[in-house]
Amino acid sequence: MPQLLTPDGRYLIVRGRLWRASNPGLPEAERRRLVDALMDARRAVKDAKQADDATALTQARRDVDVAKHALGERGPVWWRDGTPDYNRHLAKNSPYVDWYAERSAHTDASG
What's the pLDDT tens digit per position in 86-105?
A: 999 999 999 999 999 998 87
pLDDT at 3: 72
Residue 110 pLDDT > 80 = no
DSSP conformation letters of the chain: ---EE-TTSSEEEETTEEEEPP-TTS-HHHHHHHHHHHHHHHHHHHHHHHHT-HHHHHHHHHHHHHHHHHHTSSSS-S--S-PPP-TT-BGGGSTTHHHHHHHHHHHHHH-
Length of the chain equals 111
16: left (phi over 0), alpha (psi -120 to 50) or beta: left
Where are the chain's structural domains?
1-21+78-111, 25-72
pLDDT of residue 55: 98
| Residue environment code for 11-42, b if the CB has 16+ CB neighbours within 10 A, otherwise e | bbbeeebbebbbbeebeeeebeebeebbeebe
Q: Residue 104's pLDDT is what?
A: 80
pLDDT reported for residue 103: 86
- List pLDDT tens digits, range 51-99: 999 999 999 999 999 999 999 999 999 999 999 999 999 999 999 999 9
Q: How confident is the model at residue 108 (pLDDT cuts 50, 70, 90)?
A: low
| Total-model pTM | 0.85
